[in-house]
Structure formats: C-alpha cells, structure tokens
Amino acid sequence: MRRGVLAAGLVALALATPAVAGHTGWTPDELERELTCPTCRTTLAMSDAPVADRMRDFIRARHAAGDTKGEVRERLVAEFGEGVLAAPPAEGFNLLAWLLPIGGALGAAVVLGFLAWRWARGEKRERPGDPSSNGRASLDPELERRLDEELARFEG
C-alpha cells in the first residue's frame, strides 16, 4: 500500500513539473490593459476595432506558446511603434513624461506651503502713505494744510 501511495505521489510530481514550467506568470488580460489600439487610442481591453481584435488574438496565441510578457510587448512595439504602449517607457526623452508631473506637483506643494505659512503668520506689507501703517500717514505739508481747511469748512 505504501508503495502505491509513493508511486502515485511521484507520478503526480512528474506531471505537475511540466505544468508549472509552462506557466508564464502573466495573463493576456494584463497585457491588454497595458497596450493601446493604434486606431482608436484606447486600451486593447476597451477597444472594438478590428486591429485590436487581431492584436488580442496575437497576444493569446503567444501566451499559449509560452512567450514572456516582455517578448510579446516587444514584438507589438516593433510592429506598431511605441505609440501602442499605454504608458511611455521611463527612459530617454520619455522620462520627462514621468518626471514633469511629479516635479510640478512638488513645486505646487512648495508654493502652497509657503503661501499658507505666510498667511498663518499674518504678514502684511507696509506701504508708504498707507493709513493702516503706524497711525496717521505722512502727507505733503501743503496738502495737509488744504485738508485741514476743507475739514474746518465742513465742521463750521
């Protein structure tokens, strides 16, 4: 009885090893979300265009053949160009597409932080001649004399 269980276990292991080795670790659905249709510029998963159907068929055939995800992606990029990638590769000039939004967000955060800090401190610029700065504003003596005359006329 023990020999039968041991033999069955060895047969199961022998059959399981090729099945595990044939598993590529990716699904066609994953790659379809990472690629765009060259016709309508939506992901392959959402596109109904005939070229998208052919691309999906190609992906499924290469997946069944055991190709890696990178190999299939490279072949599609070679045929349709880099525009078929939903996200540009993070290298060369395309690196700007990844860095500019991050840099812009960080810059905006710094500016907003500075403005909030300044607002919280209640900092106010003093302008010359501003009546709110240190009591009465200094006026030209002639203008001050005329103002006093006008006020006296209205009061009296």
User: Which residue ranges make up each domain of the chain?
Assistant: 17-87, 91-122
Three-state SS sequence of the chain: CHHHHHHHHHHHHHHHHHHHHHCCCCCHHHHHHHEECCCCCCECCCCCCHHHHHHHHHHHHHHHHCCCHHHHHHHHHHHHCHHHECCCCCCHHHHHHHHHHHHHHHHHHHHHHHHHHHHHHCCCCCCCCCCCCCCCCCCCHHHHHHHHHHHHHHHC
Which tokens belong to 14?
């022998």
Q: How far apart are CA 40 and CA 122, in angstroms?
A: 53
Task: Give the confidence band of 21 by pLDDT, cuts at 50, 70, 90.
Answer: very low
Q: What is the mean pLDDT of residues 6-21?
A: 56
- pLDDT digit string (tens) for 80-96? 888 888 876 666 776 77
pTM of the entire structure? 0.48
Per the structure block, which two tokens stand in for 125?
Answer: 């610029």
- CATH class of the region 17-87: mainly alpha
Single out the residue of 110, 114, 131 nearest to residue 123, CA to CA. Answer: 114
Percent of the chain surpassing pLDDT 90: 31
